[in-house]
Amino acid sequence: MAQQINVADLDAPQLLDVKRQLDQELEHLTSSFGQLKQAQAKFNTCAENVKQLATSSGDTPILVPLTNSLYVPGRITDKNNVIVDVGTGYFVKKSTAEATTHYKGKVDFVTKNLESLQQVIQKKQENLNYLVTILQAKLAESKDSKSTS
């Protein structure tokens, strides 16, 4: 079990170490938040693309991605079924309704994670602000004690 320490009892160098650690944690959490936002946007785009495919006319020409930057022309002959990337290199044939449900589930999952991560980031930011306030008070106190000596 972690032991709680009152930061007001720490001296300035220790407070600076704690501040550095909190800054690193905040940077990592903020980066993770950005990555989750990108994943959320990607899944939303996938769901919208499946919906658009389902409403398209038959034998629709498209560009098929071979890599992130290489596309080849193709045609959609079966607009009722799609191949869905379910992760780690596995692909599954699903109906457009199942694919939409799959992607909406992914969006909901990522959204819940984003909400909880946002709360963690806010709490860490509050802790950092409190720590900076204590650090400034300690530095001002040490400056005052030096000037009166």
Q: What is the DSSP pairing of strand 71-76 with strand 60-65?
A: antiparallel
CA 10, chain centre distance (Å):
33
Mean residue pLDDT of the chain comes to 90
Are 76 and 56 in contact by the 8 Å Cβ rule? The answer is yes
The CA distances from residue 115 to 48, 102, 105, 134, 149, in Å, are: 23, 20, 15, 29, 51
- Of 10-14, 18-22, 28-32, 98-102, the one with minimum mean pLDDT is 10-14
Q: What is the pTM of this model?
A: 0.80
pLDDT-derived band at 1 (thresholds 50, 70, 90) equals: low
Are 138 and 78 in contact by the 8 Å Cβ rule? The answer is no
Structure tokens, 115: 């909400």
